[in-house]
Structures are given as structure tokens and as C-alpha cells.
Amino acid sequence: MRSYSLFRKDFSSEIRTRYAINSLAMFIIVAISVILFSIGNESIPAILAGGLFWVVIFFSAMSGLSRAFVSEEERGTTLTLQLIASPSTVFSGKLLFNLVLVFAMNTVISLLYSALFEEFVIKNFVLFLLTFILGNIGLGVSSTIIAAIIAKAGAKGTLYPVLSFPILLPLILTSVKLTEYAMDGTSIEDSIFELAIVGSYDVVMFSASYMLFDFIWKD
Amino acid sequence: MIWKIFLFLLLSFVSVAGIIFPIVENPSRWYEFPLIPGLEENAKIIFFHVPTAWIAVLAFLMSTIYGIKYLRKKDLNDDAKSYTAAQLGIIFCILATVTGAVWAKFAWGSFWNWDPRQTSIFALLLIYGAWFALRSSIEAEEKRAALSAVYSIIAFFTVPFFIFIMPRIMAGLHPGSADDTNAGPVVDFKMNSNMQLIFFLSLIGFTILYFWMWNIGSKSIIYRDSLNKSYLKG
């Protein structure tokens, strides 16, 4: 319940400034239009379209998701937060906020992407939906814990993608594979192994982040 | 002193034997290696490439273990040990990548082609690189030690995904991959006994070398820190 009130606080301050939402929305448009310009009138293979989809998701996530903790450091509100809430509350509240942000961002990306890329046709929609949900959870969890590290390291913006990429690599590689399967129309039974990988990645990263957050948060 | 001489002799023997012992089709004398179809003369890199890759992973493991130790006891000496292990780890990781790429040029025809093993070692290099980038961005010692320990633990959880899962998703050419028919699996070693002996001697030699270097490196950092402290106090 307390993490929900932390989420509400983040949400209302985000609605007030609209910093993360604006930068995310603009970044999505910029990234997709760069890809569209570079393709021109050529038609790209379906596999490439599926891969580029995750490229857009990765870089958009890197542009906006570090805000959760960096904004606290910038405003100097970290100490207050340390006084009024336990580390686990802070982590789950921030995680909730980042998950909402990731889901909103990726829904927009998927809609724009499927509207703008004719090659991006999903044949197995249920598989794509499962990939989308599991992949977003993993992305949200990993980006939250790395954002906490970055904020404590002095809010180095350039360091965020550098630290996140190796952590997110298994997730992205598997999700690209799963998106490819969804575009081929492979059945869920045939891709259960990859789905299990993404699911276990989510569980492992969530439990590791939840336990290690104490050490980052307490000075 | 005696074991340093022993290590010198061991590594010299491994280097000489690994390079000059001939590979023949039907080994009959004690110094002859068997011909492994699909690998042929390229097989000799196993004496140098596999130990470096093994140490790159071992160093990462030790860096993480000392990171956990630091988080439990907050002893900066553990951080120095973790840092030295990672320093050596990145050196051996680069060596493993380079020797692997050279081998790949002759065995597969190109230096780099995103085999699962190459992807994994590339990810390990990225993790090491990110870890050092994180460390160099933080001034305060305790904070640096705690944050880098946390990062190395989180990064360590991705290792099983690379080692056990990536080779199953992507088609691999590396000896020992799941779908490797002609050359592997190397785990049950199509090597004969003398090849295995030299391989394990090389593994042991490199491991001792690593621990020696790690000991010297971590001690020098610990002594430097304690000298700095006593200088500041006095």
C-alpha cells in the first residue's frame, strides 16, 4: 500500500512536469523516423523488422527510464525518502512506476511500428502478447535497479546504457527470437523454451534486485 | 621460491610441448597428438585458448565472491581483492577473445561470426568494461565498493543465460556446441591421454599463474591503502 502511494507521488509529479513522458515520446518518434529514413523505399526482410523493433524499444527505454531515481537525486529528496520509507517500499514503488512507463511506451511503439512498417506482420498474436508482457517486465526490473545504481553514482547519463546493455542482452536476444517466431507463426508449444528463458530472467532479476536494493539505497 | 621455479618449468613445458609436438593420424609414440577430424592442426590452440577463457570466468566469479564478502563485512580489503580479480579477468578475457578470433579465422574462415560462444565472451567483455566504467565514475571509496559489488552480482546472474541457454537458441559452430557433429563435444575429449595431460597441465599452470598475479596485485593495493591511511594520520 505504501509503495502504491510512492507510485502515486511519482505519477502526479510526472503528470505535472511531463519530463519523462515528453522525452520518451519524442525519442520514439525520432528513433522510428531515423529507421524509416535510412530504409527509404526499400522493403526490409521480416527478421530485420522484428530486430529493429527491439532496437527502438531498447534505446527508448535507455532515454527515459533512469528518471525514476535520478530525479530524486536532482531534487535532493533522496534523504527524505530514506527517512519515511523502507528500501523495499521505495524499490517496489519505483518499479511500479517504471513498469507502467515501460508498458505505455512499448504499446505506443508497437502501434506506431505496425502502422509504419508493412513488413512487421504478427501471425501468432498470443505469442507476441506473451513476449511483450514478459519482455516488458524484465526490461522494467533491470532498468530500475540500474537506474538506482546510476543515481547513486552521481547521475551519469551516459553510463546508463553502458551498464544496462550487458544485463539486458539475454532478454533482448531471446525477445528478438520470440518476435521472429511470432512473425513466422510458430506455435506457442514450439517456443515454450524461449518463453521459459524470458520468464526465468524476470524472476531471477526481480529477486536479485529486490535483495540488493538495500545495499544501494543505504549510504 | 620453489613453486615459482616449478611454475616456470610447468608453463615452459606446456608452451613448448603444445606448439612443437606433432599431430599425426595414428599416434604411436608418447609425444604424438591424434588427428581430430574437423580441427586438425588448429586443435593445438586448446592449450592456450581454453585456459585463458577459463580464467576470465574464474576471475569474474572471484570478483563477485569478494563483492559479496564486501557487502557482508564492509572491509575495503575485500574490495581491493575483487578489483584485482577483475583487472586480471579483463586481461585474460581479451586474450581469450583474440586467440578465439584467430582460431576462428583459420577454422571457420572469418574472425568474427556471432557464434554463441563469441556472443558470450563479448558479453563478458562488455560486463567487465561497464564495471570499470562504473568504478571510475565514483570518487568515494565505500560507495564505489558497494555499487560495483552490487553491479557485479547482478551481472553474474546473466552468466547462466549465456553459458547454458544461448548455445541452445543460436546455431553454434564452436567445438562442444550442442549441434556440433564433426569435432565435438570436446567435453568428452577426442584427445588422447598425452593431449589431455598437457591440456590439464596447462589449465593448472595458468590457474597458479593467475592466483600468483592476483595475490601480488591485491596485496599491493592493500599495502598502498594502509600506507596512505597511516600517512594521513601521522
ipTM, interface predicted TM-score of the complex? 0.89
Q: Does B130 touch chain A (CB under 8 A)?
A: yes
CB distance B131 to B93 below 8 Å: no
CB distance B89 to B51 below 8 Å: no
| CA B182 – CA A157 distance, rounded (Å) | 48
CB pairs A-B closer than 8 Å = 75
Could you tell me which chain B residue has the CA closest to the CA of A217? B147
Interface of B with A in 190-209 (CB under 8 A): none
* CB burial string B94-104: b at 16+ within 10 A, e below: ebbbebbeebb
CA atoms within a 13 Å half-sphere pointing along the CA-CB vector of B222: 15
Residue A41 is predicted with a pLDDT of: 81
CB distance A27 to A64 below 8 Å: yes
Alpha carbon separation from B115 to A174, B112, B183 (Å, rounded): 15, 8, 15
Cell of A133: 508482457
Question: B79: pLDDT confidence band, cut at 50, 70 and 90?
Answer: very high
Share of chain A above pLDDT 90, in %: 42
Q: Mean pLDDT score of chain B, rounded to an integer? A: 84
Share of chain B above pLDDT 70, in %: 86
Q: Are residues B154 and A145, on separate chains, in Cβ contact within 8 Å?
A: yes
| For residue A154, pLDDT beyond 80 | no
Q: Are residues A167 and B158, on separate chains, in Cβ contact within 8 Å?
A: yes
Q: Which of B71, B158, B163 to mutate to test the interface with A (most CBs of A within 10 A)?
A: B158
Residue B56 CB neighbours (<10 A): 24
Q: Does A190 touch chain B (CB under 8 A)?
A: no
| CA B127 – CA B134 distance, rounded (Å) | 10
Residue A156 is predicted with a pLDDT of: 65
| For residue B162, pLDDT beyond 70 | yes
Q: Are residues B147 and A209, on separate chains, in Cβ contact within 8 Å?
A: no
Q: Does B73 touch chain A (CB under 8 A)?
A: no
Q: What is the DSSP track for B108-177?
A: TSSS----HHHHHHHHHHHHHHHHHHHHHT--SHHHHHHHHHHHHHHHHTTHHIIIIIHHHHS---STT-
Question: B70: pLDDT confidence band, cut at 50, 70 and 90?
Answer: very high
Nearest to B137 among A159, A165, A166 (CB): A159
Q: Which of A73, A149, A217 to mutate to test the interface with B (most CBs of B within 10 A)?
A: A149
Domain boundaries, chain B: 15-24+48-233
Residue A142 is predicted with a pLDDT of: 94
Cell of A72: 530524486
pLDDT tens per residue across span B94-129: 999 999 898 888 888 888 888 888 888 898 999 999
| For residue A20, pLDDT beyond 70 | yes
Q: Looking at this protein, which amino acid is placed at residue A135? A: G
Which pTM value belongs to this model? 0.88
pLDDT tens per residue across span A60-114: 998 888 888 888 888 888 888 888 888 889 999 999 999 999 999 999 999 998 8
Q: Does B171 touch chain A (CB under 8 A)?
A: no
Three-state secondary-structure class, residue A41: coil
Residues of chain A in contact with residue B126, where contact means CB-CB under 8 angstroms, are 165-166, 169
Residue A105 CB neighbours (<10 A): 25
Q: How far is B65 from chain A (nearest CA, A)?
A: 14
Q: Are residues A163 and B150, on separate chains, in Cβ contact within 8 Å?
A: no
| CA A143 – CA A62 distance, rounded (Å) | 8
Residue B37 is predicted with a pLDDT of: 67
Q: What is the DSSP track for B23-91?
A: EESS--STTPEEPPTTTGGGGGGHHHHHHHHHHHHHHHHHHHHHHHHHHHH--HHHHHHHHHHHHHHHH
pLDDT tens per residue across span B188-228: 456 677 788 888 899 999 999 999 999 999 999 999 989 98
Q: Does B157 touch chain A (CB under 8 A)?
A: yes
| CA A119 – CA B80 distance, rounded (Å) | 52
CB distance B53 to B101 below 8 Å: no
* H helices, E strands: number in chain A: 9, 0
Residues of chain B in contact with residue A174, where contact means CB-CB under 8 angstroms, are 165, 169
| CA B10 – CA A77 distance, rounded (Å) | 59
Residue B119 CB neighbours (<10 A): 19
Alpha carbon separation from B145 to A73, B106, B132 (Å, rounded): 20, 42, 12
User: Can you tell me the mean pLDDT for B124-145?
Assistant: 91
Least confident of B20-29, B62-71, B72-81: B20-29
- Give which of B178, B159, B176 is closest to B168, Cα–Cα: B178
Q: Are residues A169 and B165, on separate chains, in Cβ contact within 8 Å?
A: no
Share of chain B above pLDDT 90, in %: 40
Residue B66 is predicted with a pLDDT of: 95
Residue B69 is predicted with a pLDDT of: 94
Strands B33-34 and B23-24, sheet pairing: parallel
Q: Are residues B155 and A167, on separate chains, in Cβ contact within 8 Å?
A: yes
- Which helix (DSSP H) or strand (DSSP E) does residue A139 occupy? helix A125-152
Question: B67: pLDDT confidence band, cut at 50, 70 and 90?
Answer: very high
Question: A123: pLDDT confidence band, cut at 50, 70 and 90?
Answer: confident
Q: Are residues B126 and A166, on separate chains, in Cβ contact within 8 Å?
A: yes
Could you tell me which chain B residue has the CA closest to the CA of A141? B154
Cell of B219: 596485496
Residue B134 is predicted with a pLDDT of: 92
Residue B205 is predicted with a pLDDT of: 92
Residue B94 is predicted with a pLDDT of: 94
Three-state secondary-structure class, residue A215: helix
Could you tell me which chain A residue has the CA closest to the CA of B125? A166
Q: Does A49 touch chain B (CB under 8 A)?
A: no
